[in-house]
Amino acid sequence: MKTIKTAAGLLTLKDGDQYFVSLQLRSILQDHRTQLIDNLVSSDLNRYIDYKFDRTANPVQLNRIKSQLMKLRQSGINMTRYDSILQSVIKYDFVQLGNASFFHEIDEIIRLSFKQTELFQFESSMMYH
């Protein structure tokens, strides 16, 4: 048995080959990421953006970021991105699930959303000049 400590508590996985463990872990990672995104979106997302990126999102940007985060929330887990967690679970019987990998993915979404919004604003301004 493998035990994983998450924000939701202690969860167990049945031992097996790497593929079987990966399938079980995928569900745990999905639930954990969903919880992180829900907490971020329902709390003060703009405060997080200000803290992490040293900027404030305008209402259009904030809506776009929330929309992109909801898409991420609904998407499947890319196990390649979370391979280090999988390898830890395979190697050890007890793993505490941290948030760093999840927030790295969330931050990429926020960064990309800002870039897309800025590009759209730049293209729009160029059309009128």
pLDDT of the chain along its 129 residues, tens only?
Answer: 999 999 889 999 998 888 899 999 999 999 999 999 999 999 889 999 999 999 999 998 899 999 999 999 999 999 999 999 999 999 999 999 999 999 999 999 999 988 876 655 545 555 555
Confidence (pLDDT) at 114: 87
- List, in order, residues 6 or more apart from 76 with CB less than 8 Å away: 26, 30
Q: How many domains does the chain have?
A: 1
Q: What is the pTM assigned to this prediction? A: 0.85
Strand order in the sheet with 94-96: 9-13, 2-6, 94-96
Confidence (pLDDT) at 7: 83
Could you report how far apart the first and last alpha carbons of the chain are, in Å?
Answer: 65
Confidence (pLDDT) at 125: 57
**List of E strands, 2-129:** 2-6, 9-13, 94-96
Helix (H, G, I), strand (E, B) or coil at 54: coil
How many C-alpha atoms does 25 have within 13 Å on its Cβ side?
Answer: 30
DSSP 77: P
- List, in order, residues 6 or more apart from 112 with CB less than 8 Å away: 68
Q: Rounded distance, CA 50 to CA 8, Å?
A: 27
Confidence (pLDDT) at 41: 94
